[in-house]
Structure 1
Amino acid sequence: MLIGLRLQNIALIDSLDLCFDQGFTVLTGETGAGKSILFEALDALLGGAQGTAGVRLLSFGEERGQIEASFALDSAVEHWLKDQEFDSEDAELVLCREWRRQDNRVSSRFRLNGVTVNRQQILTLRPLLIDLTVQGQAQQLARPGQQRWWLDRFGGVVLERALLQVKQSWSDWQQNSLRLEQAQANWQQLQRQRQEEEMQLEELELAQLDDCCEDKTLEREQDRLVHGVRLQEGLGVLIGRLKLGADQVPSVLDHLAACVHQLQAMSLLDSSLVTQLDQCLDFEAGLQDLIHQLEHYGSVLESDPERLGQLQERLAFLKRLERRFGLDLPQMLVRRDELRNHLAVGGAEAALEKLKKEEENARNCMDRANQSLTVVREKTARQLEQKLMTYLRPMGLENVRFKVQLNSAMPSENGADAVQFLFSANPGQPLAPLAEVASGGEMSRFLLALKTTLSAVDGRSTLLFDEIDAGVSGRLSGEIASLLKDLALHRQVFCVTHQPLVAAAADHHFRVSKLVEQGLTRSRVSQLRDTQSRMQELADLAGGDLAEARAYAASLLDHQVA
């Protein structure tokens, strides 16, 4: 519920501070006095009046302007505040929008309970606070999706759940479709990548890589073959000196044998030398073992030019592979195994087929959700048609026909239905789009009936009607007044009106007047609290100070009291 509204330097208002209560409130006054400025201010406060429209709200010649409104909290607003991580301990919500002119540029900012917020946040909060119906709303009816949005609101929780399922399935399909599109767009690149990987694997398989230390083993063997002659020469010298002797000098083995023979003779004379004899025998055995190993080494030592060429060719091949892949031999073995695993499961083709299947499943799920939503909307459409008729016929539209038509549309997050309101006010007139055939008065009555119908299932926000009774005769304005009065039993309702019947039905009455002070035109708003002032205002609406007008105004107020 709107509790208060404060304006500073907004349009023709220099300063204004109003308090409001529940029930039905009307604003009256002469044409051009600024009655609609209060609604325009609320619209701007809740995210409207962008760009030049916002600039025009700032009073001429002023550097700053401000609109502030306070609202009583309900459960829906408290839930919104919690979701947005705002403190909701206070019983009121205070919204403020400020304009500042600087260097021929006007900027504005929003604040909620003193905290700066962005326009997108305000726009999500707006439906919970106000529902504004203004003149010329036929354009709103023609907006894509507007009539569908009204139908969905009337559908309540059941339709909301079906729509939520559609939104979720739409999101899932969008994600799967995007992945598939990206995969298809990159198909050529994936194919080239696969071909390159297959070539890499073929090259690595042909290389017959099995041992991660093969290059080191080959290098050692190569060294032996390259230095075979020198090794043979060195081996001959070693064996000659150890076993055969050289330059008519006994070999090391001969010398060691002589030492053993001498120690044996000495140990017979002194048994304490047995230990040294054993050590010498060990030396002799070790020397013979060394000679045996060297002789074995000599037997396997080769100097094979053909084998050497094979080794060098293999080593060169391995070096080229390392440069080609930028990997060493152990890393190439790992890369080969990775390619084997990757290409063995079908590669890009299998991945693409998997994405196609996932997209198809998501699309089928979305189609089922859309079909379920359409069924709920068809049922809701029939209910809306019946309900609207109960409000339209008493307002002078006895022959009205109304139909909610659902046509197939491209799927979106809102389903696959295009919703259109069809209308006919006169017998013999075919049903046609409401925005194209309804007159101004018919449109006003339809919007009032629609908002009244919606309020029964979505009674959260304050209803604002700007001359909803425009183009309506006196008798019908009485029906509108009665409907507004009944609506205000459950909702806070504001209405700008020129009809005395509507104004007389209000619980609270504000008068907007225009005056000139020091050459400047200003608007003033005053609450008419006593019967006399209300009667005078109703008389002015009915036709001025004539006795008949005053009597008529008095009868209206007496009827309301009765």
Structure 2
Amino acid sequence: MLLCLQIENFALIDQLELEFGAGLNVLTGETGAGKSIILDAIDAVLGGKVSSRVIRTGTNRAMVEATFTSTPPLTAWLSEQEIDLLDENSVVISREITATASNIRSRSRVNGVLVNRQIMGGLRDRLVEITAQGQTVQVGQSAQVRDWLDLYGGNSPMQQRQKVATSFNAYQQAHLALEKRRTSERERLQQFDLLTYQVQELATANLSEPNELEQLAQERERLNHVVDLQQMSYKVYQALYQNDHETPAAADLLGDSEVTLNDMVEYDAQLQPLLDLVRDAQTAVMEVGRQINAYGEDLEADPQRLEEVEERIRELKQICRKYGPTLTEAIAYYQRIQAELAELNDSEQSIENLEQQEKACFEKLTQASDQLTQLRRQAAANLESRLLSELKPLAMEKVQFQVEILPTSPTATGADKITFIFSPNPGEPLQPLTEIASGGEMSRFLLALKACFSQASTAGTMVFDEIDVGVSGRVAQAIAEKLHQLSQRNQVLCVTHQPLVAAMADRHFRVDKQTINQNKGKKANNGNGEQRTVVRVTTLDNLTTRREELAQLAGGKSATDAIAFAESLLLQAANHRRQEES
């Protein structure tokens, strides 16, 4: 139940605080007085769409705060969202709307905790249900009618609908997999042929060593310079080990140095480490000389091997140009396309298998949809009976109404096209409600529909925006009684121009516009200060003020006859409430 609504700088409202009560809360006032602005504020604080126009001219920030009573299910849901209660019985929701130079921003809080749109949507469904004549469009939408019918049916249709959604998702995935395979079969075969050729080519190339190209380049250089290497190795051998000329080799010079140092050590033992170094150097030089000599003797020209190396280098460079640019990347590509080729060749993903999977999923979806259709037919029969009984007190005793359920292609919500069909007069054929119902008939139908859904709805507050437009007399009285009946189970907020409805209110508010001096915040009775229009709300909490307001609604002025009529309406409403209580 909505306890309190605080509004700041919202449209024509500068500051406003309203306290609502249980039962039927009615807002009245002249056309354009600002009644709908209050309902717009309720919609906005619960996450409704807003634009920069909702921010009062001359300001850049609007604020709406609503306080609701909590219920155990609501408390449990808030706990799941990790939102604590401020106290045991209330939930405070606020929305701040700020205008900047380029856009509009808003922030919503629940008990001081910032929340996103998804949470606000879930909270809105649990708190308030708004009904207006504008819902005529929704009545004509099969998807909306289907949602209403499932909600009316209770847990069984909703649970089965979830099974249908799961089955539809599985079918859709299977269907998409099949279509993807079908549409890509030609490309798959082309890709398969290409990868097969590439795998064969790379397998023939026998790629295993990423550094093979560098190693072959070195071998080619060696084979191309065999004679030079032989000559240079012999030159090194002579310089280090055995020189054919009179010039001594390095090994000979080191030998002479060793003899001299050996003599010196006899006189000074400190030179022993130097002697050891010379001996080591002589040994190393002699070893290098022997190895370089052996290297030179083993070198020989090998034209055939040189040709093989050249051919292998050409082959690897060709591989790199096609699959590289480096040999390492070519080897990695070879490994990757082997896996891709195996996947393309996977027999388990054949078209035949995918077709079987799709067929099985579709059969499961069809079965689940058929079960949902049966549950909907049961709910439709109950709704037809209940709605007709709700319409009779609204001066629609002879109306005919059916929930038409026609088969359609399965979707995530079933395989039904659902339409409300209606005939207001005996002998006339049933036709879609939105095509033949008058404004007054649509108002009564929506009211009766909400009466049917009131027990299934989780919302504690029902809002009706001029639901009584287009009716008068006995019908208006019937609507007033129906609204009061609904208010015994749910809090009802109603904007109305009907004195018959307003008279039935448990709490009555009058909305009007006033012109004030902006600087003083008082009614503008003179030219001092900037004049601004504001919306003001007065609680009509005594018999005199209510009588005067009802007289205004009935006759447009507080004439004697209008006052008498207003008194009769209040007396009639009081008698009706006493009869219901008894």
The TM-score, its normalising length taken from structure 2, stands at 0.71
Per-residue Cα deviation, 1:9-48 (whole angstroms, up to 9, x for no partner)? 2233221111122222112223332222211211222233
Quote the offset at 1:211 in angstroms: 13
Quote the offset at 1:558 in angstroms: 4.4
1:450-465 equivalence runs, <5 A: 450-465=449-464
SS of the residue corresponding to residue 526 of structure 1 reads: strand
Report what 2:58 is aligned to.
61
Amino acid at match of 1:15: Q
Report what 2:44 is aligned to.
44
Quote the offset at 1:320 in angstroms: 7.5
SS of the residue corresponding to residue 456 of structure 1 reads: coil
Return the alpha-carbon distance in structure 2 between the equivalents of residues 319 and 515 of structure 1. 91
Return the alpha-carbon distance in structure 1 between the equivalents of residues 202 and 97 of structure 2. 72
SS of the residue corresponding to residue 447 of structure 1 reads: helix
- Pair 1:531 & 2:567 matched: no
Return the alpha-carbon distance in structure 1 between the equivalents of residues 111 and 422 of structure 2. 44
Quote the offset at 1:205 in angstroms: 6.9
Return the alpha-carbon distance in structure 2 between the equivalents of residues 22 and 510 of structure 1. 14
Q: 1:32 to 1:185 in 2, by over 3 A?
A: same
Amino acid at match of 2:442: M
Q: 2:572 aligns with which of 544, 556, 561?
A: 556
1:198-347 equivalence runs, <5 A: 198-203=196-201, 347=345
Return the alpha-carbon distance in structure 1 between the equivalents of residues 495 and 27 of structure 2. 5
Amino acid at match of 1:66: M
Amino acid at match of 1:138: T
Quote the offset at 1:108 in angstroms: 3.3
Amino acid at match of 2:64: I
Q: 1:206 to 1:60 in 2, by over 3 A?
A: closer
Report what 2:358 is aligned to.
359
Return the alpha-carbon distance in structure 2 between the equivalents of residues 506 and 304 of structure 1. 114
Q: 1:321 to 1:442 in 2, by over 3 A?
A: same
Q: Do the aligned residues in 1 keep the contact of 2:129 with 2:459 (CA within 8 Å)? A: no
Report what 1:436 is aligned to.
435
Q: 1:132 to 1:339 in 2, by over 3 A?
A: closer
Out of 354-363 and 506-515, give the one that drifted further. 354-363
Report what 1:110 is aligned to.
108
Return the alpha-carbon distance in structure 2 between the equivalents of residues 375 and 549 of structure 1. 52
Report what 1:24 is aligned to.
24
Amino acid at match of 2:8: Q
Amino acid at match of 1:41: A
Q: Do the aligned residues in 1 keep the contact of 2:504 with 2:570 (CA within 8 Å)? A: no
Quote the offset at 1:421 in angstroms: 0.8
Quote the offset at 1:504 in angstroms: 2.5
Q: Do the aligned residues in 1 keep the contact of 2:188 with 2:344 (CA within 8 Å)? A: no
Return the alpha-carbon distance in structure 2 between the equivalents of residues 336 and 98 of structure 1. 60
Q: Do the aligned residues in 1 keep the contact of 2:125 with 2:458 (CA within 8 Å)? A: no
Quote the offset at 1:156 in angstroms: 1.0
- Pair 1:412 & 2:428 matched: no
Report what 1:11 is aligned to.
11
Q: Do the aligned residues in 1 keep the contact of 2:126 with 2:458 (CA within 8 Å)? A: no
Q: 1:94 to 1:327 in 2, by over 3 A?
A: same
Report what 2:91 is aligned to.
93
Return the alpha-carbon distance in structure 2 between the equivalents of residues 394 and 201 of structure 1. 82
Out of 170-179 and 121-130, give the one that drifted further. 170-179
Q: 1:350 to 1:193 in 2, by over 3 A?
A: farther
Quote the offset at 1:474 in angstroms: 2.3
Q: 1:118 to 1:526 in 2, by over 3 A?
A: same
Q: Do the aligned residues in 1 keep the contact of 2:46 with 2:120 (CA within 8 Å)? A: yes
Per-residue Cα deviation, 1:104-160 (whole angstroms, up to 9, x for no partner)? 754433333233333343233322111111233312323451211211111111111
Report what 2:476 is aligned to.
477
Quote the offset at 1:448 in angstroms: 0.5
Percent identity, please.
Answer: 38
Report what 1:422 is aligned to.
421
Per-residue Cα deviation, 1:524-560 (whole angstroms, up to 9, x for no partner)? 2122223333333333333334253244145225424
Report what 1:74 is aligned to.
71
Per-residue Cα deviation, 1:366-393 (whole angstroms, up to 9, x for no partner)? 2222222222112211111111001012
Q: 1:520 aligns with which of 532, 547, 551?
A: 532
Return the alpha-carbon distance in structure 2 between the equivalents of residues 327 and 9 of structure 1. 68
Q: CA RMSD in A?
A: 4.2
Return the alpha-carbon distance in structure 2 between the equivalents of residues 42 and 335 of structure 1. 62
Out of 97-106 and 327-336, give the one that drifted further. 327-336
Quote the offset at 1:406 in angstroms: 1.6
Out of 309-318 and 4-13, give the one that drifted further. 309-318
Amino acid at match of 1:50: V
Return the alpha-carbon distance in structure 1 between the equivalents of residues 339 and 143 of structure 2. 51
Q: Do the aligned residues in 1 keep the contact of 2:142 with 2:418 (CA within 8 Å)? A: no
SS of the residue corresponding to residue 137 of structure 1 reads: helix
Out of 119-128 and 148-157, give the one that drifted further. 119-128
SS of the residue corresponding to residue 97 of structure 2 reads: strand
Per-residue Cα deviation, 1:304-346 (whole angstroms, up to 9, x for no partner)? 99x9799879967985797586699999999999988986787
Q: Do the aligned residues in 2 keep the contact of 1:535 with 1:557 (CA within 8 Å)? A: no
Q: 1:542 aligns with which of 554, 570, 574?
A: 554
Report what 1:137 is aligned to.
135
SS of the residue corresponding to residue 134 of structure 2 reads: coil
Return the alpha-carbon distance in structure 1 between the equivalents of residues 69 and 370 of structure 2. 40
Q: Do the aligned residues in 1 keep the contact of 2:192 with 2:344 (CA within 8 Å)? A: no
Return the alpha-carbon distance in structure 1 between the equivalents of residues 329 and 105 of structure 2. 62
Return the alpha-carbon distance in structure 1 between the equivalents of residues 92 and 373 of structure 2. 40
Q: 1:352 to 1:3 in 2, by over 3 A?
A: farther
Q: Do the aligned residues in 2 keep the contact of 1:536 with 1:553 (CA within 8 Å)? A: no
Number of residue pairs matched by the alignment: 492
Amino acid at match of 2:534: R
Report what 2:167 is aligned to.
169
Return the alpha-carbon distance in structure 2 between the equivalents of residues 89 and 374 of structure 1. 44
Return the alpha-carbon distance in structure 2 between the equivalents of residues 462 and 368 of structure 1. 38
| Structure of higher CA gyration radius | 1
Return the alpha-carbon distance in structure 1 between the equivalents of residues 149 and 535 of structure 2. 39
SS of the residue corresponding to residue 536 of structure 1 reads: helix
Quote the offset at 1:88 in angstroms: 4.0
Q: 1:202 to 1:473 in 2, by over 3 A?
A: same
Q: 1:537 to 1:339 in 2, by over 3 A?
A: closer
Return the alpha-carbon distance in structure 1 between the equivalents of residues 538 and 55 of structure 2. 22
The TM-score, its normalising length taken from structure 1, stands at 0.74
Q: Do the aligned residues in 1 keep the contact of 2:320 with 2:330 (CA within 8 Å)? A: no
Quote the offset at 1:359 in angstroms: 3.5
Provide structure 2 residue ranges, at least 5 long, that are not aligned to the other structure. 227-300, 516-522, 525-530
Quote the offset at 1:476 in angstroms: 2.2
Return the alpha-carbon distance in structure 2 between the equivalents of residues 173 and 94 of structure 1. 44
- Pair 1:35 & 2:51 matched: no
